[in-house]
C-alpha cells in the first residue's frame, strides 16, 4: 500500500532529539505567508493579522505514563496543571493569554465523576488566569488518558519575546526556584513504591513536604513576574519556559539565539525544602534543577544595565550571562571551573 | 490529597454521551468576553478580533486503537488524514483554513523513518490545502501513537456557518457519498483477521476496492464543494461535518438549531462500491452511511428556493428537509413510514 515496508530503521535515540525534531520539522520551516512572524521552533507560533496585537498560539500535550501518573495525581490538579502548562508557553512569549481549547481522550475506566474532576480543575485554572475555554473535544481512549491543549493569546510587537533575541553580555535570569517539582515527583514515586500492594490508593506524605508536592501537582504560571518586569520597564530580550529542566531550556535558548552562556552553579535558585529532601534521598539538588521537569519557571535574558533592578526583584535571580556562541554553554563551578552544559536526550517530550 | 477518593461512580455510558459532554462543558458555556462569537459546541470556536474576518479555531485528536489501527494504516496516509480531519471542521464552519499546529506522542517502538513518514503525510496535506504548519511538539508516548491538531482559519461574518442556523422548511443536503470509509474499514479489518499470524504485515486487497480504501485511508476535505456553493451564491444556513455518521451529524445539527428533520432513506448517497461490498459482507449499506465514521463529508441546510441549483450541483445531494423541533428527527422510508433517527452512543469520540 505504500513503500514503508522496506524502510530503514534508525532509532530516535540514535539520532538524538534535537536532530530528530529538526528532521521532522525542517520541511515546514519556510512559508510564503508573510503573516507568520514565528513558525515552528519557539514556545509558540506568532501570526500578524494586521491589528495592533500579534496572535500567539501554543499547543501542549500531556500523556498518561509520560507526563503524569494517575496513581498519585488528583484529577482536579491534573486539569489545572494542563492549563498552566499551556499558559506557561504563552508566558515565555511574553504574551497575554486569552483563549484555550482542550481535548481529552478518556479510557473506559473513567467515570463521569472523574472526568468532571478533571474539568473542574481546568475550570479553576481558566478562572484563576482569566482565560476562556472555547473548544476542544472529549473522546474515548484505549491507551490511557491523553490531554491536548491549545492556548491562544496576544502581544504587541514590542512585548513579544522569542527564544532568539539574546545578545552577548546580556544577563541570564530565572524566575522562582528550580528542582522542587522534580523532588515532589521523587517523593510521590517513593510513596508509590512503599505503598504498592497494600491497598492504600493514595500516599500520605508529611506536611513538611507540602511545598514540593504543590510544585509538582499544582504549579502556577509566572504571569505575575512578567507584570513586575513590565512595571520596572524591563523587556526580556529572549525567553523560554523551563519545563524539562534548566539545562534543556538554556541550550534551546542558546541555539535559537546563536549564543553561548555561562551559568554560575551557586546562583541557581534552589529552595531549602528541595535541598533537604534531595540530601535525604541522595540526589544532587543541582541535577534536579538542571534536568528535572515541570518547574514552569521562565529563563530569560535582559540588558546588563538592568542588573540592579533585577537583583532587587523578588522571584527573579540572575544566574549568569550570555557569551559568544564560540564559547559554548557551560556551568561555572564555585572554584571557577567550567562544565559543558548538557541536557538529557529523548526521554520525555521535546519542546518544539 | 483531594476529595476524589470517596467519589460516586457513574459510568459514562449510563449518562449517555450528549449529557456527559454537556455536564463537562456547561461550566464553560458563558464568558464575559464579547469577542467570543462561538464557544464550545460547534465544529470550531469563533473569535472576533475586530478585523474584517472572524478567526475560527478547531482542535482534533486521533488516538491509536480508537481512531486508527497501525497494522493497516500507512503512516504517511495517517498524517494526511489528521490534517484532513482538522480541516474538515473548518470546512463545516465555511471558513478558510490558514494555519495548523500538530502534536505527536510517539511510542518508543517508532523509528526516525516512521516518524518521518507521518510528517511527510502531514506535509503533503498541508501543501495540498495551502496551509502552513506553525507549531506543535513531538513527545514520547507510553500508550500508543497520539495525535492532536489545531486548525486555525478565518471567515467573514457573512460566510461563517454555525450548526445553529437551520430553519424550518429549508433543504437538508449532503456532499459526496456516505458509508464508503466505513466499508473500507471493514475490508481492512477483515484482511487483518485473515492474515493474523501468518507474518504478512500489510493486507493485499484487490483493485476493485480501491475507492473504499482511499475513502478510509486517504480522505479529502470538501473544500471544492464550498467553492461551488459560493460560486452559485448559495450560503448554507447551518453546517456540520460528518465524521461519525450521518445520524450523529443530523442529530447534532437539529439540536443546535432547535429544529427537527426528515431524511429520505432512498436519497442518502451511497456509492455502488459501498453497496457491493456491503452486500457481500451482509452489512446494511444504509447503516454504514448512518453510523459509519470517517466520511469527512458535510451536512448542511440551504434555502428552499435554491432547490434547482442544488439538484444540478455535482457532489451535492438533497436528502431531506427541516421540520419543527416538535416533529423530531426521523428517516422516511420509501413507503412513507418514519423511523426515529438515533445515533450510536459513547463509543468513539464526541464531536464537541
Q: Cα–Cα distance between B257 and B153 in angstroms, integer?
A: 23
Report the 10 Å Cβ neighbour count for A8.
Answer: 7
DSSP reduced 3-state for B87: helix
B106 → chain A, closest CA residue? A349
A:B CB pairs within 8 Å:
300
Report the sign of the C-alpha dihedral through residues B34, B102, A239, A271, in that order: positive
In degrees, rounded to 5, the angle at the alpha carbon of residue A223 between the alpha carbons of residues A217 and A228 is 135
DSSP H or E stretch at residue A242? strand A238-242
- Bridge partners of A213, per DSSP, are none
Q: What percent of chain A has pLDDT over 70?
A: 93
Q: What is the pLDDT of residues A132-170, one digit of tens each?
A: 999 998 988 887 899 999 999 999 999 999 999 999 999
Q: What is the pLDDT of residues A42-62, one digit of tens each?
A: 999 999 998 899 999 999 999
Q: Cα–Cα distance between B273 and B207 in angstroms, integer?
A: 11
Has residue A350 got a pLDDT over 50? no
Is the CB of residue A207 less than 8 Å away from at least one CB of chain B? no
Has residue B344 got a pLDDT over 90? no
Instruction: Give the ipTM of the model, two decimals please.
Output: 0.90
Report the 10 Å Cβ neighbour count for A196.
Answer: 10
Is the CB of residue A333 less than 8 Å away from at least one CB of chain B? no
Q: Cα–Cα distance between A101 and A133 in angstroms, integer?
A: 6
DSSP reduced 3-state for B10: coil
Residue B2: the pLDDT is: 44
Calculate the alpha carbon distances from A216 to A13, A187, A210, A211, B140 in Å: 27, 10, 10, 9, 20
Residue found by looking up cell 476496492 in the block: B209
Q: Cα–Cα distance between B110 and A159 in angstroms, integer?
A: 39
Q: Which of B24, B76, B213 sits opposite A138 (nearest CB)?
A: B24
Q: What percent of chain B has pLDDT over 90?
A: 80
Query: What φ, ψ does residue A142 adopt, rounded to 5°?
Result: -95, -5
Closest CA–CA distance from residue A262 to any residue of chain B (Å): 28
Has residue A172 got a pLDDT over 70? yes
Q: Which of A60, A184, A73 is nearest to A118 (CA)?
A: A73
Q: Which of A264, A252, A255, A307 is nearest to A289 (CA)?
A: A264
**What is the pLDDT averaged over residues B193-201?**
67
Residue B142: the pLDDT is: 85
Q: What is the pLDDT of residues B79-108, one digit of tens each?
A: 999 999 999 999 999 999 999 999 999 988
When pLDDT is cut at 50, 70 and 90, the band that residue A30 belongs to is: confident
Q: Cα–Cα distance between A147 and A165 in angstroms, integer?
A: 31
Q: Cα–Cα distance between A265 and A233 in angstroms, integer?
A: 28
With contacts defined as CB-CB under 8 Å, which chain B residues touch A49? 49, 51, 55
With contacts defined as CB-CB under 8 Å, which chain A residues touch B110? 12
DSSP reduced 3-state for A20: helix
Residue found by looking up cell 463537562 in the block: B24
Residue found by looking up cell 522534580 in the block: A182
A38-42, A74-78, A99-103, B273-277: segment of lowest average pLDDT = A38-42
Has residue A112 got a pLDDT over 60? yes
Has residue A16 got a pLDDT over 90? no
Helix axes A272-280, A180-195, angle to 10 degrees: 40
A251-265, B30-44, B285-299, B330-344: segment of lowest average pLDDT = B30-44
Q: Check: CB of residue A175 under 8 Å from CB of residue A225.
A: yes
Q: What is the pLDDT of residues A182-237, one digit of tens each?
A: 999 999 999 888 877 665 555 567 788 999 999 999 999 999 999 999 999 999 99
Amino acid at each position: 500500500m505504500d513503500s514503508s515496508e522496506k524502510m530503514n530503521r534508525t532509532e530516535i535515540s540514535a539520532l538524538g532529539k534535537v536532530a530528530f525534531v529538526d528532521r521532522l520539522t525542517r520541511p515546514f520551516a519556510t512559508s510564503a505567508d508573510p503573516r507568520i512572524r514565528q513558525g515552528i521552533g519557539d514556545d509558540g507560533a506568532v501570526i500578524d493579522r494586521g491589528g495592533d496585537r500579534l496572535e500567539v498560539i501554543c499547543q501542549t500535550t500531556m500523556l498518561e505514563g509520560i507526563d503524569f501518573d494517575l496513581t498519585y495525581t488528583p484529577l482536579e490538579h491534573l486539569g489545572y496543571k494542563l492549563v498552566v502548562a499551556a499558559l506557561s508557553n504563552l508566558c515565555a512569549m511574553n504574551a497575554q493569554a486569552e483563549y484555550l481549547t482542550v481535548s481529552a481522550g478518556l479510557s473506559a475506566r473513567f467515570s463521569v465523576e472523574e472526568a468532571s474532576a478533571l474539568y473542574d480543575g481546568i475550570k479553576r485554572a481558566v478562572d484563576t488566569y482569566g482565560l476562556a475555554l472555547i473548544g476542544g473535544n472529549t473522546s474515548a481512549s484505549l491507551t490511557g488518558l491523553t490531554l491536548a491543549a491549545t492556548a491562544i493569546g496576544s502581544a504587541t510587537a514590542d512585548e513579544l519575546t522569542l527564544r532568539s533575541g539574546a545578545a552577548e553580555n546580556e544577563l541570564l535570569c530565572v524566575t522562582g526556584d528550580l528542582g522542587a517539582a522534580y523532588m515532589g515527583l521523587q517523593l510521590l514515586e517513593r510513596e508509590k513504591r512503599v505503598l504498592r500492594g497494600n491497598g492504600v490508593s493514595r500516599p500520605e506524605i508529611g506536611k513538611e513536604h507540602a511545598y514540593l508536592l504543590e510544585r509538582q501537582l499544582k504549579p502556577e504560571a509566572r504571569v505575575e513576574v512578567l507584570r513586575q518586569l513590565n512595571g520596572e520597564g524591563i523587556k526580556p530580550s529572549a525567553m523560554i519556559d523551563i519545563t524539562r529542566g534548566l539545562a534543556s531550556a538554556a541550550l534551546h535558548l542558546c541555539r535559537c539565539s546563536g549564543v553561548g552562556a555561562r551559568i554560575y552553579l551557586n546562583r541557581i535558585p534552589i529552595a531549602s525544602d528541595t535541598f533537604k529532601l534531595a540530601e535525604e534521598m541522595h540526589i544532587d539538588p543541582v541535577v534536579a534543577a538542571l534536568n528535572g521537569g515541570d518547574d514552569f519557571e521562565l529563563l530569560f535574558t535582559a540588558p546588563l544595565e538592568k542588573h540592579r533592578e533585577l537583583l532587587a526583584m523578588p522571584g527573579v535571580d540572575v544566574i549568569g550571562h550570555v557569551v559568544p556562541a564560540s564559547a559554548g554553554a557551560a556551568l561555572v563551578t564555585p572554584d571557577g571551573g567550567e562544565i559543558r552544559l548538557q541536557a538529557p536526550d529523548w526521554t520525555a517530550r521535546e519542546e518544539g
